[in-house]
């Protein structure tokens, strides 16, 4: 095979770069915008929740245990030594927001609302300002703070971290809580108790 001279190599590189530029240039000349990847395609899709019915039927507050994996963004609920629930989660958006270690469920609240994150609403419940922090933001005149709903809340720390129904965008996105799909949160809530062990690992 013939070896290319330095001049030929330089020309080949230049030609390659020129060819790469043609498609976007043609798109702009003829009124087409170059296609960009949609945000959804950049998010790794999570495998859906799986409830093992035979193990779930044996799941009780006495034999339940919970394992949360932050790196896998999954929660595993066991009935004794059998896996009853395997579900996607969304945990804290920054490292350390969801603490790791061994915990227990210290409170259950079916209709819990956040004391920190929520919205400002008027006297008729209409939204005035969304996505506020009660610690930072000041309510506009005529409005008051309303905490974000955290249905089927299972608290694991008194600093505010718990498992509850929430949005799962496909990556860690919470302020520290462990968000669950609605059907999984409801299933867990009915089968755990105060004192159920919860282990959170990286």
Q: Is the whole model's pTM more than 0.85, yes or no?
A: no
* Predicted pLDDT at 182: 97
The 3-state DSSP class for residue 101 equals strand
Closest of 42, 105, 74 to residue 180, by C-alpha = 74
Question: Where would I find the beta strands (DSSP E) of the chain?
Answer: 50-51, 64-69, 74-79, 82-88, 101-104, 107-122, 127-133, 143-155, 162-165, 178-180, 197-201
29 and 109 both lie in a single domain: no
Q: What's the CA gap between 184 and 202, in Å, rounded?
A: 21
Residue-level pLDDT at 8: 63
Please give the DSSP secondary-structure letter assigned to residue 93.
S
Is 121 part of any domain? no
Q: How many CA atoms lie within 13 A of 183 on its CB side?
A: 8
Tell whether 60 and 31 lie within a shared domain. Answer: no
Alpha-carbon torsion angle 58, 108, 147, 170, nearest 10? -30
Mark whether 163 and 185 lie in a shared domain: yes
Q: Considering the domain boundaries, does residue 188 fall inside one?
A: yes
The tally of domains found in the chain comes to: 2
CATH code: domain of residue 57: 2.40.440.10
| pLDDT given at position 102 | 98
Residues of the chain with pLDDT under 50: 1, 19-29, 39, 42
Give 123-166 pLDDT, tens digit per residue.
998 999 988 888 899 989 999 988 888 999 999 999 999 999 99
pLDDT given at position 85: 98
Residue 10 domain boundaries: 6-36
Q: Can you tell me whether residue 25 is helix, strand or coil?
A: helix
Closest-CA residue to 88 (of 46, 40, 56) = 46
Report if residue 137 sits inside a domain.
Answer: no
Q: Is residue 44 part of a domain?
A: no
Looking at the fold, whether 109 and 194 belong to one and the same domain comes out as yes
Per-residue pLDDT tens digits for 169-179: 999 999 999 99
- For residue 7 the two structure tokens come to 């001049």
Domain annotation covers residue 179: yes
Radius of gyration of the chain (CA): 25
Q: Tell me which DSSP letter residue 47 carries.
A: P
């Amino acid at each position: 095979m013939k070896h290319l001279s330095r001049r030929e190599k330089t020309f080949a590189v230049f030609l390659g770069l020129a060819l790469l530029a043609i498609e976007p240039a043609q798109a702009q000349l003829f009124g087409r915008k170059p296609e960009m990847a949609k945000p959804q395609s950049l998010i790794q899709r999570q495998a859906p929740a799986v409830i093992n019915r035979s193990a779930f039927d044996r799941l009780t507050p006495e034999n339940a245990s919970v394992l949360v994996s932050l790196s896998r963004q999954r929660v595993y609920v066991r009935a004794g030594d059998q896996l009853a629930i395997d579900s996607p989660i969304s945990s804290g958006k920054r490292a350390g927001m969801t603490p790791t270690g061994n915990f227990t469920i210290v409170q259950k609240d079916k209709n819990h609302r956040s004391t920190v994150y929520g919205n400002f609403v008027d006297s008729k419940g209409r939204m005035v300002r969304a996505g506020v922090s009660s610690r930072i933001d000041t309510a506009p005149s005529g409005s008051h703070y309303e905490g974000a709903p955290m249905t089927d809340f299972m608290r694991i720390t008194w600093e505010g971290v718990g498992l509850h129904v929430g949005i799962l965008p496909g990556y860690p996105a919470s302020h520290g809580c462990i968000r669950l799909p609605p059907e999984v949160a409801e299933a867990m809530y009915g089968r755990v108790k105060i004192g159920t062990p919860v282990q959170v690992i990286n």
